[in-house]
Amino acid sequence: MRRVRVTIAGRVQGVFFRASCAEEARRLGLAGWVRNASDGRVEAAFEGSDRAVEMMLRWCRSGPSLAIVDDVHELDEEPRGEHGFRIVG
C-alpha cells in the first residue's frame, strides 16, 4: 500500500483535470481526493497499490487532452486507509 500527495502545475484548471483525474483514479481502484488550489495548481492524494499509484502518477504528467502539465511534485505520505476517490473544493 502506498500513498502519494501531488501538486500539478501548468494549464491544469478549467480543462477538466479534476474530473478526468477522478475518473482515472477510480478506474485504477485508488482512494484519495483531488482539488483546485488557489494558486492555479491542482493538488491530489492517491492511495492504493504501488502499481496503481505509479500508473496514476504517469497519467498526471500529461493529464487530460486540454491540459499542459509543466511540473508534478510528489511527496510520499503514510497510507491512511482511505476508501473511495472524491473531488473536493
Q: What is the pLDDT of residue 9?
A: 98
Spatial CB neighbours of 80, under 8 Å, sequence gap ≥ 6 = 3, 47
Question: Which member of 2, 5, 35, 36 is catalytic?
Answer: 36
**In the predicted structure, residue 26 carries a pLDDT above the cut 90:** yes
> Is 11 a residue of the active site?
no
> Is 18 a residue of the active site?
yes
Q: What is the pLDDT of residue 35?
A: 98
Domains within the chain, CATH numbers bracketed: 2-81 (3.30.70.100)
Q: What is the pLDDT of residue 89?
A: 78
Question: Which member of 11, 18, 51, 58 is catalytic?
Answer: 18
Predicted TM-score (pTM) of the model is 0.96
Mean pLDDT (the chain) is 97
Q: Is 85 helix (H, G, I), strand (E, B) or coil?
A: strand
Q: What is the pLDDT of residue 85?
A: 98
And the C-alpha cell for 76? 510520499
**Are β-strands 31-36 and 85-87 bridged in parallel, bridged antiparallel, or unpaired?**
parallel
Q: Is 70 helix (H, G, I), strand (E, B) or coil?
A: strand
- For residue range 29-64, what is the model confidence (pLDDT) as tens digits? 999 999 999 999 999 999 999 999 999 999 999 999
